[in-house]
Amino acid sequence: MTDQDTTTTEDEVGTRQRAIEAYESARDRAADTLGEVPLLALAGGIAAGALIAALLPRTDAETRAIRPTARRVKDSARAALSAAKDTGTQRLDELGLSREKGEQTIRNLLDSVTEAAKASANAALDATRKSDKS
């Protein structure tokens, strides 16, 4: 019985030692990697923090603190969009461009492309017919 107890204990010690060595090896590799690429580690930490923050419910205090800033950002974005739209519309009007004129220009362009494609196809067909006769 003593031999079996000793063998079992030696197996447990061997397994434990291998586990310790594997842990130390993994820890050393992780430390080396983080030392070589600190920005990657920082990005990973930020991503993990953002994920955790997204999963947690917002508190009333956070809502009260964020609400004024969120309103200012929305108002600024609306004002910027309105200014860009008004300026763009004004400039297009100055150039004499309108929606109808733009649509007509696109129709003309598509018609021209279609005619060019048909002419190319007919020329290729004629060339094929001529080469068959020869």
Mean pLDDT by 10 residues, the chain (134 residues): 54 77 82 69 83 84 88 94 92 82 87 93 86 72
Say which amino acid occupies 88: G
Query: Which two three-digit tokens encode residue 110?
Result: 């598509």
Going from N- to C-terminal start, the domains of the chain cover 1-56, 60-97, 98-134
In 37-98, alpha helices (H): 38-55, 60-94
Question: Whole-model pTM above 0.85?
Answer: no
Q: What angle do CA 89, 98, 104 make, to 5 degrees?
A: 150
CA 100/CA 105 separation, integer angstroms: 9
Residue 6 confidence (pLDDT): 52
Give residue 101's pLDDT: 81
